[in-house]
Amino acid sequence: MAKESGLGMTVTVDDSAGSGQAISNDVTNVQWTMPSGVQDVTGVNSSGMERLLLLADLQVTLNGVFNDASSLSFQVFKNYRTLAASQVGRTTAIAISGQTLSDEILYSDFGFTRAADGSFTWTAPGSLSDGGVPAWT
């Protein structure tokens, strides 16, 4: 097994019509976590902690450069509230080196920053919406 960089990653997100759009060219940074809840089940007779894994989650934050061209980041996220209001997730897929993490994500914000140097960037945080257990395929 060889170590690899994150070069060549593909990020695809459904637009408000439910069509997957490859927005990788606009995404400058992607962050995801797949945490599980943990329950302390330690009895008074134990000297060490006992725990159980609980529900799984998936949290994603996409960051990118403003691009309002057809089928790219601004067009994909500009109506995020349309879907958020109805609690419908958007299929989001992160693919790297033949591995894909794909699930339904509910995006809760689409924020912008115009920095002093003139750069114009966005961020879109989201969380698992469909109750599925996130897994790499």
Q: Where are the domains of the chain?
A: 10-37+52-128
Q: Residue 74: how many CB atoms within 10 A of its CB?
A: 17
Nearest of 101, 122, 79, 86 to residue 12 by alpha carbon? 101
- Measured CA to CA, the distance from residue 129 to residue 20 in angstroms comes to 17
- Measured CA to CA, the distance from residue 104 to residue 114 in angstroms comes to 29
- Residues 12-30 have pLDDT tens digits of 999 888 899 999 999 999 9
Beta carbons of 32 and 60 less than 8 angstroms apart? yes
Q: What is the pLDDT of residue 79?
A: 81
- Residues 42-99 have pLDDT tens digits of 999 999 999 999 999 999 999 999 999 988 999 999 887 665 555 678 999 999 999 9
- Residues 102-125 have pLDDT tens digits of 999 999 899 999 999 999 999 999
Burial of 76 (0-12, 13-18, 19+ CB in 10 A): buried
- The CATH label, of 1.20.120, 2.60.40, 3.30.1760, 2.40.30, for the domain at 10-37+52-128 is 2.40.30
State which amino acid sits at residue 135. Answer: A
Higher pLDDT, 132 or 44: 44
Q: Give the helix/strand (H/E) hosting 42.
A: none
Q: What is the pLDDT of residue 84?
A: 52
Residue with tokens 């989650």: 57
Is the pLDDT at 131 greater than 70? The verdict is yes
